[in-house]
């Protein structure tokens, strides 16, 4: 299937137009990049918490985890 050269020449202009128009790519990325980074930080925090608090024997790890999970869950539901 041959691609028309005229179509290929119009793609950069279309992307630039979609970047600068209202509701375009720039506005979309402005909203989504902080959300993506925040979700990534939650994953890193959860991993580190599991690594270090999982090593604590007995009750201190369980108590700390239960108190943090309760506050974290209520904060997620409020936002």
Confidence at residue 60, expressed as pLDDT on a 0 to 100 scale: 61
Asked if 58 and 70 touch (Cβ cutoff 8 Å), the reply is: no
pLDDT in tens, 21-79: 888 888 999 999 999 998 888 888 888 877 777 666 665 666 666 666 666 655 555 55
pLDDT at 59: 59
Q: What is the pTM of this model?
A: 0.46
Q: Is the pLDDT of residue 19 over 90?
A: no
């Amino acid at each position: 299937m041959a691609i028309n050269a005229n179509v290929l020449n119009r793609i950069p202009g279309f992307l630039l137009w979609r970047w600068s128009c209202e509701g375009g790519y720039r506005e979309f990325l402005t909203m989504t990049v902080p959300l993506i980074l925040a979700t990534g930080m939650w994953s890193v925090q959860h991993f580190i918490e599991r690594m270090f608090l999982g090593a604590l024997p007995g009750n201190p790890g369980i108590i700390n985890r239960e108190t943090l999970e309760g506050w974290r869950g209520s904060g997620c539901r409020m936002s």
